[in-house]
C-alpha cells in the first residue's frame, strides 16, 4: 500500500520507539488475565450473533453424530501451536476421543510455554498427550487407531507426507490439514477467496495437492492471524505489551493496511464441524478468518480500548527508519485480509 515518505523526525521517532521494545519473548505478568481475555471479546464482538451461531452447531450436531477417535499432530512452536490446543478442547466438549501428538520431547523448554504448559486442561478432560517424531507417527502413538487425523505441524510435503502415508495405510477415514492464507498470490482485487491463484512453489500448496490425490475425505483450512490466550506467538500481545507500558506503537506504512484476526477457539469449532460432518467438508478448502477485516491502526485502537487505555500510534517508513518491518512488527506489511467462507 502506498504511503507518504516519513519525515526525518517521524523516522527518528519510529526508530526510537523500537528501542523500548521488550526483551523477553514471554508476556509480562500484567498481561496475564485482565487484558487478553478482554481483547478476544473485543476482536470477535463485531461478529455478534454470527460467532455464537458458529459455535452452537458443534454441540447440537455432535449429540447425534458418531463419536470419533481423533489424532492431532501438533507443532511445538509458532502461531499454529494454539490451534491444536483449542481444537482438542472443542473435540472433547463434543464428546470425541482425542490424542495430541506434539513434536519433540515432553521435557524440553518449549513445553514450559503456553499452550503446552496448559495441556493439563486437556488431560483432565480425558485427552491423551504424547510426544514424538511425526516421521514415525505410528510408533509415537503406540499403534493406536484413529478415525480422523489433523496435521497441524508440517508446512511442506517432506514433513507431512510421512503422516499422510501412515494415515492412509492405517485406514484413517478423514485427513484434515492446517494450511495458510499466506499462500495466495497478490491480487488487484482483494480480498482473497478460495479459488484465487496461489503460489505454486509454496509448501502448503504441495501438501494440499497430495492429500487431495490420496484421500477421499480430506479438507484444508487456511488461517491467517490467530489470537487467543495460550498463543505461542506474538499477535495481539505485541500491541498490549506496548500499550500497557505507555509506549508508542510503531506501525509500518500508513496503518491502513487491512488484515484479519480470528480467535483460535473459532477455528477449533470450525474444525470440529468438519469432524462431525465429514461429507459436507470433503474435498473443500476453507479460509478461516473473521467476516470483517481490520486496519493495522484499527487493531492498535481495539487493543487499547480493551485494555481501557489510550494509544499513541507512530506510522513510519521502514526504509527511512532503518527498520526491518518483517522482524520488528508481528503482521505482514501489506493487505492480507481474506474473507470467511464456511
Residue 242 forms part of a structural domain: no
CATH of the domain at 276: 3.40.50.720
Does some domain include residue 279? yes
116/229 Cα distance (integer angstroms): 12
Identify whether the C-beta of residue 339 lies closer than 8 Å to the C-beta of residue 191. Answer: yes
Q: Please check whether residue 292 is in contact with residue 47, taking contact to mean a CB–CB distance below 8 angstroms.
A: yes
261-317 pLDDT, tens digit each? 889 999 999 999 999 999 999 999 999 887 788 999 999 999 999 999 999 999 999
Tell me if 161 is assigned to some domain.
Answer: yes
Residue 243 resides in a domain: no
> Over 90: is that where the pLDDT of 61 sits?
no
The predicted pLDDT at position 188 comes to 82
What's the pLDDT score for residue 66? 85
Give tens-digit pLDDT for 74-103.
999 888 999 999 999 999 999 999 999 999
Determine the structural domain holding residue 183 and report its residue range: 69-234+260-293
The answer to the question of residue 177 being in a domain is: yes
Q: In this structure, is residue 282 part of a structural domain?
A: yes
Domain count, the chain: 1
pLDDT tens for each residue of 120-178 = 999 999 999 999 999 999 999 999 999 999 999 999 999 999 999 999 999 999 999 99
Amino acid at each position: 500500500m502506498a504511503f507518504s515518505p516519513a519525515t526525518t523526525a517521524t523516522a527518528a521517532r519510529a526508530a526510537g520507539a523500537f528501542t523500548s521494545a521488550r526483551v523477553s519473548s514471554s508476556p509480562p505478568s500484567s498481561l496475564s488475565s485482565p487484558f487478553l481475555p478482554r481483547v478476544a471479546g473485543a476482536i470477535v464482538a463485531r461478529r455478534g450473533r454470527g460467532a455464537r451461531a458458529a459455535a452452537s452447531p458443534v454441540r447440537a450436531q455432535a449429540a447425534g453424530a458418531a463419536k470419533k477417535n481423533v489424532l492431532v499432530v501438533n507443532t511445538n512452536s509458532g502461531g499454529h501451536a494454539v490451534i491444536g490446543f483449542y481444537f482438542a478442547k472443542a473435540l472433547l466438549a463434543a464428546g470425541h476421543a482425542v490424542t495430541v501428538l506434539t513434536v519433540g520431547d515432553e521435557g524440553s523448554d518449549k513445553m514450559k510455554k503456553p499452550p503446552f504448559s496448559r495441556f493439563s486442561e486437556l488431560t483432565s478432560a480425558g485427552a491423551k498427550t504424547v510426544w514424538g517424531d511425526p516421521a514415525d507417527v505410528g510408533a509415537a502413538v503406540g499403534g493406536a487407531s484413529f478415525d480422523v487425523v489433523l496435521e497441524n505441524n508440517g508446512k511442506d510435503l517432506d514433513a507431512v507426507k510421512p503422516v499422510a502415508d501412515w494415515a492412509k495405510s492405517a485406514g484413517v477415514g478423514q485427513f484434515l490439514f492446517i494450511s495458510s492464507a499466506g499462500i495466495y498470490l497478490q491480487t488487484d482485487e482483494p480480498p482473497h477467496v478460495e479459488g484465487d491463484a496461489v503460489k505454486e512453489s509454496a509448501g502448503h500448496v504441495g501438501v494440499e495437492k497430495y492429500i487431495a490425490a490420496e484421500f477421499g475425505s480430506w479438507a484444508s483450512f487456511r488461517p491467517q492471524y490467530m489470537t487467543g490466550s495460550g498463543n505461542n506467538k506474538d499477535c495481539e500481545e505485541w500491541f498490549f505489551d506496548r500499550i500497557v507500558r505507555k509506549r508508542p506503537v510503531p506501525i509500518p506504512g500508513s496503518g491502513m493496511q487491512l488484515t484479519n484476526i480470528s480467535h483460535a477457539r473459532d477455528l477449533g469449532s470450525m474444525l470440529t464441524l468438519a469432524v462431525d460432518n465429514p461429507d459436507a467438508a470433503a474435498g473443500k478448502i476453507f479460509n478461516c478468518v473473521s467476516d470483517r477485516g481490520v486496519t493495522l491502526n484499527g487493531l492498535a485502537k481495539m487493543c487499547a480500548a480493551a485494555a481501557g487505555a489510550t494509544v499513541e500510534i507512530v506510522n513510519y517508513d521502514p526504509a527511512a527508519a532503518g527498520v526491518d518491518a518483517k522482524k520488528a512488527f508481528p503482521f505482514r506489511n501489506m493487505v492480507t485480509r481474506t474473507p470467511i467462507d464456511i
